[in-house]
């Protein structure tokens, strides 16, 4: 039912697009789909990218945006063997492959996206560095691809709304399916159970994962830690990903460095499990896969309810804050919660109950139902809290 997996990169490699296509493909193949990975060697485009940028500059059109250009798309599509175009191609990219290229080769295209390009191209968006003309061309290509797509499936509700509002996709061809956590738990995994009371006779560990440390709110989280300390709560921030040297020396920050999830999955799982709370206070966030990773490890989560994060923080297994909430209010809320042992126990139990629901196996099962029945009868929706029965789908 899903015959191929596409993205701008090698979808058979765990390092392609945060590992999302790789993990989805693995689960899809285990679920009986062919799900052949498309392999595009991006490194081979370096010279062509430089010449394209130079040509744009000499014509006064501005550099950047090669991946949206016909030049890139034609070369990338030519790298895919003819047999891999047959059947249904699921792509994680709005622009590659082009829907007309799939149709010309006898295939069908479905999209699985974390954000529309149109939503990222708004003022203050995440593609502000692109020339205006490039943004216009990329938005037009996105609309054309979505028009010919069998389904446009969003990872979060805000993206589904944007597909309808900004890209003109009929609501009847738009669905929302929560992705899975990029984390495989070992057999017999024991959920974290650190001794002592977090914040009182041992530190309350605020976990953070992210390469884009500024946008994802690491400085804000350090401010929350400072406020907790002022309120008499023993707290530390434990961070993995990228962090500038000057910030890494901040008092109360335990910086674990970058953890390669592909090469060190056990270390990454141990890092998640060592935290009391997974935190994501982003200014903008298409989804927030780290919150799902913390939940899969049985760790409660918190963050600003902006864009996709609002769909990944369950009210029964974490703390939901409106964007702009001060560090003082966040710290006071966490202090009040973690001084109540019964409440902490309930939140942790809910996080553990979410663990089997935030997987790629569950995601692929929802995709199968969508493609066969035209809808998902009981989708997993964290923003509503735990479903009546946990541990799997009752579809």
Per-residue pLDDT averaged across 279-302, rounded?
96
**Residue 125: predicted pLDDT:** 67
Confidence of residue 192 (pLDDT cuts 50, 70, 90): confident
pLDDT digits (tens, 9 = 90+) for 317-370: 999 999 999 999 999 999 999 999 999 999 999 999 999 999 999 999 999 999
pLDDT digits (tens, 9 = 90+) for 139-188: 999 999 999 999 999 999 999 999 999 999 999 999 999 999 999 998 88
* Neighbour count for residue 28 (Cβ, 10 Å): 23
Confidence of residue 242 (pLDDT cuts 50, 70, 90): very high
**Residue 392: predicted pLDDT:** 44
- What are 251's two structure tokens? 């008092």
Alpha carbon distance 379, 365 (integer Å): 10
Alpha carbon distance 23, 11 (integer Å): 9
Per-residue pLDDT averaged across 20-48, rounded?
96
* Fold (CATH) for 204-356: Rossmann fold (3.40.50)
Longest dimension (CA), the chain: 66
Confidence of residue 390 (pLDDT cuts 50, 70, 90): low
Domain boundaries, the chain: 4-176, 204-356
SS3 20: helix
**Residue 55: predicted pLDDT:** 85
**Residue 34: predicted pLDDT:** 97
**Residue 148: predicted pLDDT:** 97
Per-residue pLDDT averaged across 263-276, rounded?
93
* b (16+ CB within 10 A) / e for 94-124: bbbbbbebbeebebbbbbbbbbbbbbbbeee
Residue 109's DSSP bridge partners are 89
Per-residue pLDDT averaged across 188-195, rounded?
80
**Residue 124: predicted pLDDT:** 64
Q: Is 301 exposed, middle or buried (0-12, 13-18, 19+ CB in 10 A)?
A: buried
**Residue 301: predicted pLDDT:** 98
- What are 5's two structure tokens? 């997996």
Work out the percent of the chain whose per-residue pLDDT is above 70: 97
Whether pLDDT at 395 is above 60: no
Confidence of residue 123 (pLDDT cuts 50, 70, 90): low
**Residue 16: predicted pLDDT:** 94
For the chain, give the mean pLDDT.
93
Regarding pTM above 0.85, the answer is yes
- What are 49's two structure tokens? 């990218």
């Amino acid at each position: 039912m899903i015959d191929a997996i596409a993205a701008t990169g090698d979808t058979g490699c765990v390092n392609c697009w945060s590992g999302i296509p790789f993990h989805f493909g693995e689960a899809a193949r285990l679920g009986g789909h062919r799900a052949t990975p498309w392999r595009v060697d991006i490194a081979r485009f370096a010279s062509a990218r430089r010449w394209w940028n130079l040509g744009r500059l000499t014509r006064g059109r501005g550099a950047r945006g090669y991946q949206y250009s016909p030049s890139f798309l034609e070369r990338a599509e030519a790298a895919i063997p003819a047999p891999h175009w047959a059947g249904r191609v699921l792509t994680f990219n709005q622009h590659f492959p082009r829907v007309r290229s799939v149709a010309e080769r006898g295939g069908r295209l479905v999209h699985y996206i974390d954000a529309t390009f149109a939503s990222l191209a708004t003022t203050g968006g995440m593609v502000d560095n692109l020339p205006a003309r490039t943004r216009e061309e990329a938005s037009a290509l996105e609309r054309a691809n979505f028009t010919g797509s069998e389904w446009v499936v969003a990872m979060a509700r805000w993206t589904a709304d944007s597909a309808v509002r900004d890209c003109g996709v009929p609501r009847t061809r738009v669905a929302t399916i929560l992705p899975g956590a990029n984390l495989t738990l070992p057999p017999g995994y024991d959920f974290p159970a650190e001794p002592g009371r977090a914040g009182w006779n041992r530190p309350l560990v605020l976990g953070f994962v992210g390469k884009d440390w500024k946008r994802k709110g690491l400085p804000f989280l350090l401010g929350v830690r400072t406020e907790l300390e002022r309120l008499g709560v023993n707290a530390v921030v434990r961070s993995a990903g990228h962090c500038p040297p000057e910030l890494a020396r901040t008092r109360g920050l335990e910086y674990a460095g970058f953890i390669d999830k592909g090469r060190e999955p056990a270390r990454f799982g141990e890092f998640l499990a060592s935290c009391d709370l997974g935190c994501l206070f982003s200014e903008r966030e298409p989804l927030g896969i780290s919150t799902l990773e913390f939940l899969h490890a049985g760790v409660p989560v918190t963050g600003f309810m902006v864009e996709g994060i609002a769909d990944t923080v369950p009210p029964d297994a974490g703390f939901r804050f409106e964007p702009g909430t001060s560090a003082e209010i966040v710290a006071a809320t966490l202090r009040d919660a973690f001084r109540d042992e019964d409440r902490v126990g309930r939140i942790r139990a809910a996080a553990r109950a979410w663990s089997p629901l935030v997987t790629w196996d569950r995601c692929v099962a929802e995709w199968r139902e969508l493609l066969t029945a035209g809808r998902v009868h009981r989708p997993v929706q964290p923003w509503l809290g735990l479903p009546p029965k946990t541990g799997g789908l009752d579809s």
